[in-house]
Every structure is written in C-alpha cells, then in structure tokens.
Structure 1
Amino acid sequence: MARSIWSGFLSFGLVSIPVRLYSATQEHEVDFHQFERGTSDRIRYKRINERTGDEVEYDDIVKGHEVTGGEYVIVEKDELEEIAPGRSRALEIEQFVELAEIDPIHFQKSYYLGPGGDDNDTSYALLRTALQKTDRAAVAKFVMRSKEYLACVRASGQVLVLETMYFADEIRDPGKELGDLPKAASKGKQLDMAVDLIEAMTEEWKPKQYHDTYTERVEELVEAKRKGEEVVTESAPAATGVTDLLTALQDSVAAAKKGRAGGARKQAPAKKSAKKKTPAKKSAAKKSAAKKTSAKKRSAA
C-alpha cells in the first residue's frame, strides 16, 4: 500500500472524518546528470556560505525573508509550525459549489484522499456519495509542508480526489500578460468551417490512447547516441496564413470525415465477408459431392 504524505481530519459542520492524502499522479521524466563538456566529470551543487566559502550542512540552514534592502528576518522551521499547530492537521471545508463552476486554471495538482482508519468508512462513503449525487465539490483549506493550500475535494468513482488550487491573486491577468487579444470571430464561412471541423474531430474521451511521445523520443535519442547512430530531427510546422485559412479548414474537414468514414468501411466488410465464407464452402462441397456421384454412375454404366 502507498505511503500517505499527509494525514488529518476532513471537517464540515460538526462532522469530522479522519483522512490520508496520497499522490495521484507521477510524471514521465528521463533522468540526466550534469557533466562538464568534453569530460566525464560530474557537476554537483553544494550549499556554500558566500562569505566564508565553506560548505554548510542542510540542518544548519534557516530561512530568511528580506524586509528592506539587504536586511532579513530569520525564521526557524519550528516557529513556522508553531503558528498553526491545529491547522496542520485540519482540512476545513469552507463551502460546497457546483463542480462545473470552477475554472480548471485554478487546479494545481491532484491527490487521492483516502479514509484515515477502519472506523470511519461509513462517514467517508457518505460524503463521497453525497458529492456524486449533488454533482458538487467541497472547497477547503489546509496546511501542508509549511504552506496553506486552497483545495477542491470531489468524488471520482470510489475515491475522493483532492485538487490543490491556486488562490485568485496567484492567477495572472491574461490582458496584462498578453496585451491586446484578437476580437471574437465574426459570423461567416470560416467560422462555420471551424465548427464543422470541431464536430468532425469530436470523439469520446479515451485517456489511455494518449502517451508521452516526447519522452519516448528522448529515450530513442539516448539509445541512438549510445549506438553511434545518426539522429533525425523533425521540422516545426509553419503558421497558416490568413488567405489560406479557409482552404486549410475545408481540406481538414474533408480529411477528418474521410478518415472517420474509412474507419467505418473497414469494420463493415469484415463482418459481411465472414458470414459469406461458410455458405460458399458448403456450396463448393455440394458441387464436388455431385461430381463424384455422377462420375460413379458413369463408371458403373
């Protein structure tokens, strides 16, 4: 069984449920070490005192917050834990909201929220079922690793999922970050074709059909270099010009519809031919049997 990374109590109203937090995801990543170019010498990082040049042990390092130019307030780890001793074990539900109301941009990382003991299975299942029935999500706050998180707790099958979330002031304003953005597309043939293309490419969501192709290419690159083989790179696509946009949309819709129709045709003939094979064999068998009988009659005569 996986090891929990946080444990505490999920509380709403007068109800308190012991829970444990587990990682729900793991990222694909190819491990690389750093070397000095042209050598086999590893590059390693050390915690160095910039004044003395001496290496400092991890346990001897404390945190400092700059208040004015060059002046810092030093804060110990114990002091951070002392300012919220109770909240470090509490997952307090502030309110319930419609799950669809939460913009996915707020979601940060997913965790599984499991029962904290055998004696609270009923209350855990009760909350999970109630969230499923109402299509609601719980908005809560909790402290983990000296940081307060905003969280969304939702039901997913048999488990509660906790999504850590960004606070509103942590999300950047796209207008300030990107400047003037394109206005809404006017009604016209281009918009109609864009909608047709989206409809033609719409399919059922099947997450297992997607995989990390970049990591696979990195692994292939490493293997090719190990064998001394030539590495082939892909060229980046060119942007579609405004004058070519309608033509590109029309060709894309036609290709999408053709691909979907082709897939349907591939399946249909297979079923029909399978049904026709058996009668064909039977008729062939009857003909050969008839030939043998007539041949016997002729020889007897």
Structure 2
Amino acid sequence: MARPIWSGTLTFGLVSLPVQLFSATESHTIRFRQLERGTSDRIRNKRVNERTGKEVAAEDIVKGLETDGEYVVVEPDELDEIAPGRSQALEISGFVDLDEVDPIYFDRTYWLAPKDEEHAKVYALLHEALSRTSRAGIATFVMRNREYLLAVKAEADVLAVHTLHWADEVRDPKEEISTTPGKRKLPEKELKTAVELVEALDMEWHPEEYRDTFRERVLELVEAKAKGETYEKAEPPPQATNVVDLMDVLQKSVDRAGGKQRKGARKGGGLERLNKKQLYERAADADIPGRSSMNRDELIEALGNAS
C-alpha cells in the first residue's frame, strides 16, 4: 500500500474532512549511476562549504535568503509557524467549471482519500456533488514549505487533486518566443487540405496504447552491450518541409492517411481491434525490425505485410 505524502483537513463551506494525499503517478525513468570512466567507481555528490572546502553535515545546513548582499537565515520551525493553517489545511474557496482552466496551468496529479472510515460519507458526498455538477473545487494548501494552488476533481471513484501553476509562473509566449507567427492570412486551399489531414488522422484516445519507447531502446542497448552484441540505431529525424512544396506534401499526407486506413482494413485480419501494446507484442513475435519506433498504424501495416 502507498504511504500518504501529506495529511490534513479539507474544508468547503463549514464542512471539514480529514484527508490524506497520495501520489497518483510514478516515474519509470532509467537512472544511470555516475562512474569514473574506465572504472566501476561511483561518483558521489557531497555538501561542501564553498569557502573552506569541508563537507557539512545535513543537520548543520539551514535555509538562507540573500537580501541587500547579506543572508537572512530561516529555521524550518519558523516556516511552519507562518504557514496558513500551520500546513494542515486544504481550503476550497469555490467551485469552477474545469473546462475554464487552461491546461497550461496543470502541473501534477495526486489522489485524495478520507483519513478514516468515519469520514467516508462526507468524502462520498463531495465526490458525488462534484460529479453531478461537473465542477472542480479550487483550493490552496502548504506542503514542504511551499504553497500550492489546487483543483479538486471527481474521478471514477476517487477525488483527484491537480496542482496548478500560479498565474505569474506562466510565461507569456509573445515575450518569450520571437518566432511565433501570430495571426496571418493563410491560403484557403492549403488550410482546407490541412483540415482534411487532421480529420483523416482522427483517432480515439487510449493512453494504454502509448509507452516509453526510448526507455525500451535504452534497455535493449544496455542488454546488447552487456552481451557484446551490436544494437539497432534509430532512423535519422525527418528534414523540415520545404514551404514551396507544402501543398504537395499536405495532399500526399492526406492520401497516405486514407490509404493506410483502407490497407489496414484489408490486410489487418482483426489487427484494427488490438491496442498498441498487443500489436507490439505480435510484432516482437514476428521479429519485425524497427518495431519499437513504430506508431499503431505502422505496426498494423507491418504485421499485415508480414502475414
């Protein structure tokens, strides 16, 4: 069972609900060790006093913020003393339509659970109310010496908490990027063909069909090197489309997308009903080269050709 990363009280109106916060996701990133080249010696980071060069124990390290050329030292208990609700309150200030929140504001997702069975009814009431109204509660709370803006939303059978960026944390693209085209008049024929391409590549969203193929390639690389074998290199990235040939490339893309769908239906032999993971497993059984970098349509086409 997962352990809560925060415990406190969720409030909405005059209602208070003891809750616990759990991580909703986990990272499968491959983490390499740092070694000295030519050896198996680990490289370790140390906390070192930059003036004396001596290592400093963790308990002797405090937080400091520079002001006017000098550091003001702040102790952990002083941060706890000024935290709203002493870091134990998650207060919903109001409810909004979640569609009104721009996706750029979303950061991380957590699960919210009642702290005990005694308060399960209050939890269920809030969950059902959010489900029926299709709304999310906007709240703030403090965790690990940082205040967060949150959206509390009802999922299938649990409350989800999405941490949100503060407004002043979201960068203005007009100020940050000099190459954005802005509003411009586009050739109607090219625009129509681009819309056709988007519609031709329409698909349903099935997150289980996607996986970290680079992670798989890294594991294959490590396995091959451990056995002294060669490894398959990825294809070079495609070259940028020549603006002069844009209309021709768009039309060929539309034709190719339509052709893939027809070909897949003819040759698929039921492959269209499989998700990407199942297609990849069949491609692995058939020893189809380059399968790890293929998308779903390419896997269907390769399996159809192989059969």
Q: Report the alpha carbon displacement of residue 180 of structure 1 after superposing the two structures with TM.
A: 4.7
Q: What corresponds to 2:292 in structure 1? A: none
Length, aligned pairs only = 269
- Equivalent positions of 1:46-85 (< 5 A) are 46-69=46-69, 71-84=70-83
Superposition RMSD in Å: 1.8
Q: What corresponds to 1:284 in structure 2? A: none
The two structures have a TM-score, normalised by structure 1, of: 0.85
CA distance in 2, matches of 1:166, 1:94: 17
Q: What corresponds to 1:103 in structure 2? A: 102
- Asked whether the equivalents of residues 84 and 142 of structure 2 are also in contact (C-alpha less than 8 Å), the reply is no
3-state SS of 2:244 partner: coil
- Equivalent positions of 1:163-182 (< 5 A) are 163-182=162-181
Q: Report the alpha carbon displacement of residue 186 of structure 1 after superposing the two structures with TM.
A: 1.9
Q: Report the alpha carbon displacement of residue 114 of structure 1 after superposing the two structures with TM.
A: 1.0
- Equivalent positions of 1:19-38 (< 5 A) are 19-38=19-38
- Asked whether the equivalents of residues 33 and 42 of structure 2 are also in contact (C-alpha less than 8 Å), the reply is yes
Question: Is the alpha carbon distance of 1:16 and 1:61 closer, same or farther for their aligned partners in structure 2, counting shifts above 3 Å?
Answer: same
Question: Percent of pairs identical after alignment?
Answer: 55
- Equivalent positions of 1:177-192 (< 5 A) are 177-184=176-183, 186-192=186-192
Runs of 4+ in 1 over 6 A off after TM superposition: 267-270
- Asked whether the equivalents of residues 34 and 43 of structure 1 are also in contact (C-alpha less than 8 Å), the reply is yes
Question: Is the alpha carbon distance of 1:268 and 1:226 closer, same or farther for their aligned partners in structure 2, counting shifts above 3 Å?
Answer: closer
3-state SS of 2:109 partner: strand
Q: What corresponds to 1:291 in structure 2? A: none
Q: What corresponds to 2:196 in structure 1? A: 196
CA-to-partner distance for each residue in 1:14-34, whole Å, 9 max, x for gaps? 111111100000112112111
- Asked whether the equivalents of residues 90 and 142 of structure 1 are also in contact (C-alpha less than 8 Å), the reply is yes
- Equivalent positions of 1:95-134 (< 5 A) are 95-134=94-133
The amino acid that maps onto 1:243 is V
Q: Report the alpha carbon displacement of residue 86 of structure 1 after superposing the two structures with TM.
A: 2.3
Q: What corresponds to 1:143 in structure 2? A: 142
**Contiguous gaps of at least 5 residues in structure 2:** 272-307
Question: Is the alpha carbon distance of 1:60 and 1:187 closer, same or farther for their aligned partners in structure 2, counting shifts above 3 Å?
Answer: same
- Asked whether the equivalents of residues 62 and 74 of structure 1 are also in contact (C-alpha less than 8 Å), the reply is yes
- Equivalent positions of 1:201-216 (< 5 A) are 201-216=201-216
Q: What corresponds to 2:151 in structure 1? A: 152
Q: What corresponds to 2:18 in structure 1? A: 18
The amino acid that maps onto 1:149 is Y
- Equivalent positions of 1:240-259 (< 5 A) are 240-259=241-260
The amino acid that maps onto 2:242 is G
The two structures have a TM-score, normalised by structure 2, of: 0.83
- Asked whether the equivalents of residues 87 and 142 of structure 1 are also in contact (C-alpha less than 8 Å), the reply is no
3-state SS of 1:243 partner: helix
Q: Report the alpha carbon displacement of residue 36 of structure 1 after superposing the two structures with TM.
A: 1.7
Q: Report the alpha carbon displacement of residue 123 of structure 1 after superposing the two structures with TM.
A: 1.2
**Contiguous gaps of at least 5 residues in structure 1:** 271-301
Q: Report the alpha carbon displacement of residue 267 of structure 1 after superposing the two structures with TM.
A: 6.4
3-state SS of 1:218 partner: helix
- Asked whether the equivalents of residues 193 and 251 of structure 2 are also in contact (C-alpha less than 8 Å), the reply is yes
Q: What corresponds to 2:276 in structure 1? A: none
- Asked whether the equivalents of residues 152 and 162 of structure 1 are also in contact (C-alpha less than 8 Å), the reply is yes
3-state SS of 2:162 partner: strand
CA distance in 2, matches of 1:46, 1:177: 36
